[in-house]
Amino acid sequence: LALTEVPEVMDALHVSTRAHHALRRFSVRPYGGKGYLPTREVVSLGPDGTQLVAVTPDGDDPSAAQVEVMDTATGVVSSRLSGLDRPTSVHWDHAAGEIVVGAEDGELSYWDPSSGMRRRTRTIDGTGFAVVEVVGPYLAYFTGLPDRANSGDVAVTAVVEHSETGESVIVHESEPGAIVESVRISPPGTSAIVLDTAGWMHVYDLTSGDLRFSTQVCPFAAMCVDWVAGTDAVWIKRDSGLTQLDLFSGEETAVPWRADEASGALYGLPSASPDGRLLAVRAAGEIHVFDATSQPYELLWRVGAASDDVWLLEWLPGSDGFVSVDASDEAVVWDITDRRTSERSFEIGTY
């Protein structure tokens, strides 16, 4: 399919495009089709941002899933990873140059993104296994049956292990009413956080494996916490506004938005560009991009979102562009280099 970019300059600070081309339609398959896993566990970008890998439905069977690698510019599938039994999650390990896939039966497989060939496989005990991410020598995942509809009847365990030795560094078990939602490793690879359905964030030291502290953030904490780029700090979306929390000192500070530009409209977590200069934040019907080097942060661009509910904002490595996925089932690749915003879109489903 041909790609058409139609930039439309609105003014010096507001550049947008309205060229919505559904280049490829596909649906993401969250774990077991239950809609539990956030989008980050079933969609992962490649190292240069030109490709992504996703867990997608396989045929008409609601429990069947497959893993596809596709081009972010066109949505064309370049390869499908074959021989997988109910894959639950994917992660593109940029450092190792491979795709890691977790399956329901506890199988962990490593794949060559170019050829779509399996490199190696290992098995981890537990059902409902899901890979979350790989950072340096650490692998984060959880086992159990994560189903929000029956959360009182399940026990999910979050694990961070050293991938070279296979030794578990952190093991965090769910408690009644506080089911593990996600486990994430900080960009420097020195901290890990476990988020649960009771709204708690548990902060661990990866060197010692010790629990540093726990703090309550919001109901279903996985939806209101994310990493500040390249640091051991997190964004937290609280009722009072957006804050940053340092995971070493425990110090929490308010984010300096311009009051006249934010005016309560910003309600989503920000996503920082790889160099930390820019922040993309979901707002009502739009995505706002801020200059994070100014004090307070200056609003640079507004781009239109198809839905108020944006599930994922992830920057393309090595560029001033990002991918958004929203509740209208559309994924959009935005390029805001030199304050000219172009858009390439294809549809994506998030049960």
Residue carrying structure tokens 């560029």? 319
Task: Report, as an integer, the average pLDDT of 11-20.
Answer: 30
Cα 28 to Cα 36: distance, rounded to the nearest angstrom: 12
Q: 113's torsion region: left (phi>0), alpha (psi -120 to 50) or beta?
A: alpha
- Name which of 18-22, 36-40, 342-346 the model is least confident about: 18-22
> Over the stretch 63-85, which tens digit does the pLDDT of each residue have?
678 899 988 777 788 899 988 88
> Over the stretch 210-240, which tens digit does the pLDDT of each residue have?
999 999 998 777 778 888 878 899 988 887 7
Burial class (CB in 10 A: 0-12, 13-18, 19+), 99: buried
- Which among 42-46, 149-153, 305-309, 337-341 has the top mean pLDDT? 42-46
Residue 129: pLDDT over 80: no
Cα 234 to Cα 237: distance, rounded to the nearest angstrom: 10
Element (H, E) at 191: strand 191-196
Element (H, E) at 261: helix 259-262
Cα 192 to Cα 160: distance, rounded to the nearest angstrom: 8
**What is residue 180's predicted lDDT score, i.e. its pLDDT?**
84
**What is residue 192's predicted lDDT score, i.e. its pLDDT?**
95
Task: Report which of residues 289 and 57 the model is more confident about.
Answer: 289
Nearest-5° Cα angle at 349, 229 to 8? 65
Residue 17: pLDDT over 90: no
β-pair partners for 327 = none
**Starting from the edge strand earliest in sequence, which strands make up the sheet with 191-196, in order?**
180-185, 191-196, 200-205, 211-216
Provide the CA 190 distance to its chain's centre, in angstroms. Answer: 19
**Helical segments of the chain, H only:** 259-262
- Which among 86-100, 113-127, 300-314 has the top mean pLDDT? 86-100
What mean pLDDT, rounded, does the chain reach? 75
Cα 324 to Cα 314: distance, rounded to the nearest angstrom: 7
| Phi, then psi, of 133 in degrees rounded to 5 | -165, 165
Residue 36 — very low, low, confident or very high, per pLDDT cuts 50/70/90?
A: very low
- 72 neighbors 52 (Cβ within 8 angstroms): yes
Task: Report which of residues 240 and 9 the model is more confident about.
Answer: 240
Residue 37: pLDDT over 50: no
**Dihedral angle, C-alpha 47, 49, 54, 59, nearest 10 °:** -130
Element (H, E) at 246: strand 241-246
**What is residue 194's predicted lDDT score, i.e. its pLDDT?**
93
**What is residue 1's predicted lDDT score, i.e. its pLDDT?**
28
